[in-house]
Structure 1
Amino acid sequence: MRVLVQGAGVAGLTAAFELARRGAAVTVAETGHALGGNASWFAGGMLAPWCERESAEQPVLDLGRDAADWWDAATPGQVTRAGTMVVAAPRDNGELERFASRTSGHRRVDEDEIALLEPDLAGRFRRGLLFPDEAHLDPRQAMAALHDRLADKGVEFHFGADASAVSGFDRQIDCTGMAAGDDRLRGVRGEMVILNTPDVSLSRPVRLLHPRFPLYVVPRTDHRFMVGATMIESRSTGPVTARSMMELLSAACALHPAFGEAEIVETGVGVRPAFSDNLPRVEARGRTVAINGLYRHGFLLAPAMARQAADLVFSQDRTKELAHETVGQRRSA
């Protein structure tokens, strides 16, 4: 079976992998001229289904609990399994209790254990939650690794091209996100900043709870930290606003004051496609299967959506084969 995957974001790359591993001949067409630059490029890369359950529906936990295993198998060496730490200032302990009541898979940690797990946070927080089974990855490194793995499997990539530039496929997978033109989608703008400082070390993503502006900080390599992210109902892809920058940096400094002296390496904006219920969908439209609506859970839910899409493609093909066999049997009779 020849399958065209439209879009080389996290949905497209994971779909291509699932199809290729099942024996399909896969081609990926991406309108961008290189890997990256889409919403996936500015993601946090947190594989945190238990934490996300605080504001998401149960399917996010159900679909995302195996994501770390999938990424580990598809991109060996890219996943860090150190859990997630959730903390709050003493005055915001109510936020911590609310978070705990809405989630599972955590255990409570006191000031001494916080200092043991994250020495640079010693003395800054008295109570927290540790989600030990969660993980994280660097989205850009993971996407590059997945691209290389796909190329090794014989997947063809066409950058700077849309679906009209290639033809002759049995099925198509539409992973174009906001560009799909689906009127049911809304855009959720996420702004982020990458900071560089040798004065802070973190072993895992840390979420700082605040009643107005909760924040997460995800460690990268080379003393870099991804700080995010806003959630603004907007399709605008313009630069990070001054208000958002001030809030992100202020919250980062509340986590550790050394972030106040950090270098701002990069700012970025990603517009994430979301349906009204904030849950993704895999839908068949004739010979095309669409994956969309990953919202803020791209790297967490893309593997499960890719599996569903591949299941649907191959079940459609099998149904077609059975129909031909039935017609052939009738003609023989």
Structure 2
Amino acid sequence: MSDVTVIGGGVAGLWAARACLAQGLRPRLVDRKGPPGPHGCSWWAGGMLAPFCEGALSEPAVVSHGKRAADMWSEVTEVTRRGTLVLAPERDRAEIQRFAARTEGHAACDADAIASLEPDLAPRHRRGLFFTDEAHLNPRQALHDLTQALAGEGVKVETTPLTPSEVAGPVIDCRGMAASADLAGLRAVRGEMILLRAPDVTLTRPIRLLHPRHPLYVVPRGSGIFMLGATQIESASRAKMTARSALELLSAAYALDPRFAEGEIVEMGADLRPAFANNLPGIVQRSAVLHLNGLFRHGFLMAPALAEQAAAFLATATTGDLFREN
């Protein structure tokens, strides 16, 4: 017998189920396509737990709540805490100054500091910012580990095609874009990524390369594999990656380190990230349904805190600062 039904088996739904258990609530977790996989937006994430960097374009709530993400994820999966290095091509060095002015928690880096952090990049980059308190994880491994942790508590993902209107009792709706008919203003933002095998390149932490038109982040996945991401296109198309996007990402990676040009493309992927008008995640309350949605580019960063607030509301009927009513 369950106390709450969680619909959606992506990063938000998995965390919602875990948070319910922490509140003494027994969740039923359902997803019509089953456990996490290529069918879900979470599968294509970068896995950066970078609240300070995200603060450059996000509201303070993303920074304050995102600071806890690394500690919360470390309870269920491996988290690498080596910070984030932000760089820019020399011709775009003003981007470094603008990024620094919009963020906190960083230290300025000269060529020697960059060489100490990432020796492979030393000859090519002379200015940067280092965010020492940021972290990253492998999102696919993290989804697997979180799914297994829930299974150990007796909560497995049921392959059931449910909608909130078909459920009697409390519901946490984590369906992402599938919930757009129930959430006015929810829009799709297309994101595309590339997995590249480049054994000649050694990076130990996420690198963000600033560019006025084509910003890039590179996340090491181990064994010479790097994730290049990500485009941000206002589109509801689920088409495969476009040639233009691939060229932009690969060109930016080449600008970071020319040895990426010899890399092997392992995988290209694209999916739709759900976003509200203000690009902030939130919980929308509609009768007995809590819609946990709008995670946009902050899924792995914000899902733990958002789920915690949703579960606390169900257990105590008190709202948190991420709630909104509809």
CA deviation vs aligned residue, 1:114-169 (integer Å, no higher than 9, x gap): 1111111121100110000000011100000000000001113212x222699876
Paired residue for 1:42?
44
Paired residue for 2:73?
71
CA deviation vs aligned residue, 1:238-268 (integer Å, no higher than 9, x gap): 0000000000000011111111010100001
Paired residue for 1:321?
none
Taking the aligned partners of 2:192 and 2:29, their CA distance within structure 1 comes to 28
**Aligned AA for 1:170?**
G
Paired positions, count? 314
Give the secondary structure class of the aligned counterpart of 2:277. Answer: coil
Paired residue for 1:26?
27
Residue 316 of structure 1, CA deviation: 3.8
The gaps in structure 2 that reach 5 residues or longer are: 319-326
Paired residue for 1:194?
195
Give the secondary structure class of the aligned counterpart of 1:265. Answer: strand
Taking the aligned partners of 2:140 and 2:124, their CA distance within structure 1 comes to 31
**Aligned AA for 2:51?**
P
Cα pair distance change 1:44/1:302, threshold 3 Å: same
Taking the aligned partners of 1:86 and 1:54, their CA distance within structure 2 comes to 12
Paired residue for 1:158?
158
Give the secondary structure class of the aligned counterpart of 2:290. Answer: strand
Matches within 5 A, 1:1-333: 2-37=3-38, 38-73=40-75, 75-76=76-77, 78-159=78-159, 161-163=160-162, 170-180=169-179, 181=181, 182-316=183-317
Taking the aligned partners of 2:147 and 2:28, their CA distance within structure 1 comes to 12
User: Please, which moves more after superposition, 30-39 or 91-100?
Assistant: 30-39
**Aligned AA for 2:53?**
C
Residue 17 of structure 1, CA deviation: 0.5
Taking the aligned partners of 1:51 and 1:165, their CA distance within structure 2 comes to 35
**Aligned AA for 1:151?**
A
**Aligned AA for 1:178?**
M
Taking the aligned partners of 1:138 and 1:62, their CA distance within structure 2 comes to 22
Give the secondary structure class of the aligned counterpart of 1:220. Answer: strand
The answer as to whether partners of 1:279 and 1:294 remain within 8 angstroms in 2 is: yes
CA deviation vs aligned residue, 1:39-75 (integer Å, no higher than 9, x gap): 11101111001001111111111121111111112x1
Report percent identity of matched pairs.
52
Residue 279 of structure 1, CA deviation: 0.6
Taking the aligned partners of 1:35 and 1:211, their CA distance within structure 2 comes to 34
The Cα RMSD (Å) is 1.7
- TM-score, length-normalised on structure 1? 0.91
Give the secondary structure class of the aligned counterpart of 1:189. Answer: strand
CA deviation vs aligned residue, 1:9-29 (integer Å, no higher than 9, x gap): 110001010001222221211
Residue 90 of structure 1, CA deviation: 1.3
Taking the aligned partners of 1:8 and 1:263, their CA distance within structure 2 comes to 31
The answer as to whether partners of 2:9 and 2:35 remain within 8 angstroms in 1 is: no
User: Please, which moves more after superposition, 131-140 or 33-42?
Assistant: 33-42
Taking the aligned partners of 1:55 and 1:189, their CA distance within structure 2 comes to 17
Higher helix share: 1
Cα pair distance change 1:47/1:88, threshold 3 Å: same
Taking the aligned partners of 1:263 and 1:242, their CA distance within structure 2 comes to 16
Taking the aligned partners of 2:15 and 2:168, their CA distance within structure 1 comes to 19
The answer as to whether partners of 1:199 and 1:258 remain within 8 angstroms in 2 is: yes
The answer as to whether partners of 1:6 and 1:162 remain within 8 angstroms in 2 is: no
Taking the aligned partners of 2:278 and 2:103, their CA distance within structure 1 comes to 19
The answer as to whether partners of 2:25 and 2:315 remain within 8 angstroms in 1 is: no
Give the secondary structure class of the aligned counterpart of 1:240. Answer: coil
Taking the aligned partners of 1:55 and 1:270, their CA distance within structure 2 comes to 21
Residue 222 of structure 1, CA deviation: 1.6
**Aligned AA for 1:99?**
F
Give the secondary structure class of the aligned counterpart of 1:105. Answer: coil
Paired residue for 1:324?
none
Paired residue for 1:320?
none
Cα pair distance change 1:63/1:165, threshold 3 Å: closer
